[in-house]
Structure 1
Amino acid sequence: MASLSIRDVYKTYPNGVPVLKGVNIDIEDGQFLILVGGSGCGKSTLLNMIAGLETVTKGEIAIDGKVVNNLSPKDRDIAMVFQSYALYPSMTVRENISFGLNIRKVPKGEQSQIVDRVSNMLQIQHLLDRRPGQLSGGQRQRVAMGRALARDPVMFLFDEPLSNLDAKLRIEMRSEIKLLHQRLGTTIVYVTHDQIEAMTLGDRIAVMKDGIVQQFGAPQEIYDSPSNLFVAGFIGAPPMNFIDGKLVEQGAGVGLELDTGVARSVLNLPFDANKVRGHVGQNVVLGLRPERITDARSSHDGHGHELQRHTVKVDVIEPTGPDTLVFAQVNGKRIVSRVHPGANPQPEKEMELLFDVSKAVLFDPKTEERIA
């Protein structure tokens, strides 16, 4: 196992294009770090720099306290699993897994033991004599993981390993990778553009945009307390609702003016009035997760706060099985809520929704940073 420290790291290509702009990340031995963001945010470049496949323009990358900027990939004691599997088509599964062991001149008897151990762990013992062309995508990804495991490195690097798989197989392999981490306890750095993978796999998540880490923290912390509009909208499926409106004084507190197309009202907010007083009378953006807007049958008011009732006109419904997504207009913008299927929402009909603002967040529409 090994800790990882990324200190003020910059990457600029020879044509002058900046890719990473001062990245700082620290994880402990055995943690599972997710680098997540859209295409071109710099996450794969950062992974390649950890691996030694890209040079660092400025800053330091340290593995287990040792700066590795000038170390070659083979001297960093890491193993990488690629999106494309990168298996040798002419070799059997056994030969692919043991390829790195051969290069390092590991004795044949020991190689055999390692291949048996790894194949048992990944449940691919019956595939050892097949070639990659005879395997499914999920089986090939297991072989690629097996080749990495055979090295017994201090750190694993995964570069979007599941993006070529179908939805069902992605879910299965996600569980396999998580189980693998629980068994081995080895440090993992994992790149993905899929925020569901990020939430389900990681101990720590770095949400990236334009070469900058927008937020770094535990999955639930990022989900509940996003630092800005980008993070709030990127993490979560369906994403967080953003309700534009005017912040007004409401008794001793504050509220947001609402227009649902059925009625005008004020949504009471839980924020300290003294902390947001500078924004009273101004437009703000209220962030509210879909599961916080629901129907009476689905609501679970176990926190002692009052659920606020507002009537909307239903635009569209999307049944998902365990719940139904209801889309409606609030302040001229479409929002989505999660309701119980038994609520039987109907398009073009009015419906009473309950708003739970206990986990609401408030953003400045100009800076897009969180206010409260």
Structure 2
Amino acid sequence: MASLSIRDVYKTYPNGVEVLKGVDIDIEDGQFLILVGGSGCGKSTLLNMIAGLETVTRGEIRIEDKVVNDLSPKDRDIAMVFQSYALYPSMTVRENIAFGLNIRKVPQNEQKEIIGRVSEMLQMSHLLDRKPGQLSGGQRQRVAMGRALARDPKMFLFDEPLSNLDAKLRIELRSEIKLLHQRLGTTIVYVTHDQIEAMTLGDRIAVMKDGVVQQFGAPQDIYNSPSNLFVAGFIGAPSMNFVKGTLVEAGSGVGLTIDTGVQKTVLNLPFSANAVRASIGKDVILGLRPERITDDRSAHNVADAQLQSVQVKVDVIEPTGPDTLVFFKLNGARAISRVHPSSNPHAHETLALLFDVSKAVLFDPTTEARIA
């Protein structure tokens, strides 16, 4: 196992394009780090720099307290799993797994033991004599993982390993990767654009945009307390509702005037007037997760003081099985709520929804930073 420290790292290409702009990340031995963000945010470039496939323009990368900026990939004791599998088509599964072992001149009897252990761990013992062309996409990715596992490195690097697979296989292999981490306890750095993978796999998540880490922390902390509008909208499926309005005083606290097309009311917010005094009378953006706008049955665990009933007009419904998504207008913009399927809402009807403001967040519409 190995800790990883990334300090003030920049990457600028000869044409002047700056891809990474002062990245700072620290994880401990055995932690699972997710680098998540949209295309072009710099996450794969950062992974390649950790692997030694890209040079560091400025800053420092340490693996287990050793600066590795100038170390070649083979001297970093890492193993990488690529999106494209990168298997040798003319070799069998057994030979693909053994390839790195042969280069390191591992004795044959030891190779046999390693291949047996790895193939059993990944449930692919029956595939050892097949070639990649005879395997499904999920099986090929298992082989790629097996080849990395055979190395027994200090750190695993995964570059969007599941993006080529269908939805069902992604879920299955996601679970396999999590189980592997639990069994092995090895440090993992994992790149993805899929926020569900990020939330379900990581101990720590670095949300990236335009070469900058927007927020770094535990998955639930990022979900509940996003630092800005980008993080709030990127993490969560469906994403957070953003409601534009003017912050007003409401009794001893503050509120936001909302209009659903059926009802106009002031939604009381859980912030003291003193805490947000600088924003009173100004435009703000209220953030509420879809599960915080719900029905009686789904809101039974929420304190009554945090619930406010609001009448809305249903535009569209999307049954998902365990719950139903209800789409409606809130201050002129589309909003989404989650209700229990037994509520059985219908398009165009008026529905009473309960707004749970206990996890509400406020953003500045100009800077997009979180206010409260």
Write the letter of the residue equivalent to 1:216.
Answer: F
Residue of structure 1 equivalent to 2:326: 326
Listed as ranges, the matches of 1:54-203 within 5 Å are: 54-203=54-203
Aligned partners of 2:217 and 2:275: how far apart in 1?
A: 24
CA drift of 1:249 comes to 0.2
Write the letter of the residue equivalent to 2:333.
Answer: K
1:16 aligns with 2:16: yes
Secondary structure of the residue aligned to 1:275 is coil
* Cα displacement string for residues 268-288 of structure 1 (whole angstroms, at most 9, x for unaligned residues): 000121010111111100000
Aligned partners of 2:90 and 2:356: how far apart in 1?
A: 59
Aligned partners of 1:302 and 1:318: how far apart in 2?
A: 24
Q: Check whether the contact 1:174–1:197 (CA below 8 A) recurs between aligned residues.
A: yes
Aligned partners of 1:75 and 1:284: how far apart in 2?
A: 51
Residue of structure 2 equivalent to 1:236: 236
Residue of structure 2 equivalent to 1:272: 272
TM-score, reference length from structure 2: 0.99
Aligned partners of 1:238 and 1:97: how far apart in 2?
A: 39
Aligned partners of 1:370 and 1:83: how far apart in 2?
A: 35
Aligned partners of 1:313 and 1:140: how far apart in 2?
A: 49
Aligned partners of 1:271 and 1:245: how far apart in 2?
A: 16
Aligned partners of 2:7 and 2:54: how far apart in 1?
A: 16
Secondary structure of the residue aligned to 2:69 is coil
Secondary structure of the residue aligned to 1:23 is strand
Secondary structure of the residue aligned to 2:276 is helix
Q: Check whether the contact 1:363–1:371 (CA below 8 A) recurs between aligned residues.
A: yes
Residue of structure 1 equivalent to 2:219: 219
Residue of structure 1 equivalent to 2:42: 42
Q: Check whether the contact 1:77–1:155 (CA below 8 A) recurs between aligned residues.
A: yes
Write the letter of the residue equivalent to 2:321.
Answer: G
CA drift of 1:306 comes to 3.0
Secondary structure of the residue aligned to 2:314 is strand
Q: Check whether the contact 2:252–2:272 (CA below 8 A) recurs between aligned residues.
A: no
Q: Check whether the contact 2:92–2:132 (CA below 8 A) recurs between aligned residues.
A: yes
* Cα displacement string for residues 87-117 of structure 1 (whole angstroms, at most 9, x for unaligned residues): 0000000000000000000111111111001
CA drift of 1:294 comes to 0.3
Residue of structure 1 equivalent to 2:206: 206
Residue of structure 1 equivalent to 2:342: 342
Aligned partners of 1:171 and 1:273: how far apart in 2?
A: 45
Aligned partners of 1:62 and 1:161: how far apart in 2?
A: 24
Residue of structure 1 equivalent to 2:300: 300
Q: Which moved more, 1:222-231 or 1:105-114?
A: 105-114
Aligned partners of 1:315 and 1:213: how far apart in 2?
A: 37
CA drift of 1:304 comes to 5.8
Structure 1: tracts of 5 or more residues without a match: none
Q: Which moved more, 1:17-26 or 1:341-350?
A: 341-350
Secondary structure of the residue aligned to 2:357 is coil
Listed as ranges, the matches of 1:249-288 within 5 Å are: 249-288=249-288
Q: Check whether the contact 1:247–1:282 (CA below 8 A) recurs between aligned residues.
A: yes
Secondary structure of the residue aligned to 2:102 is helix
Aligned partners of 1:114 and 1:340: how far apart in 2?
A: 49
Question: 4+ residue stretches of structure 1 with deviation over 4 A?
Answer: none
CA drift of 1:344 comes to 1.4
Q: Check whether the contact 2:257–2:265 (CA below 8 A) recurs between aligned residues.
A: yes
Identity, % of aligned positions: 81
CA drift of 1:303 comes to 4.1
Write the letter of the residue equivalent to 1:45.
Answer: T
Aligned partners of 1:265 and 1:44: how far apart in 2?
A: 46
**RMSD of aligned Cα (Å):** 0.7
Q: Which moved more, 1:345-354 or 1:153-162?
A: 345-354
Secondary structure of the residue aligned to 1:34 is strand
Aligned partners of 1:158 and 1:133: how far apart in 2?
A: 22
Structure 2: tracts of 5 or more residues without a match: none
Aligned partners of 1:90 and 1:305: how far apart in 2?
A: 66
Write the letter of the residue equivalent to 1:227.
Answer: S
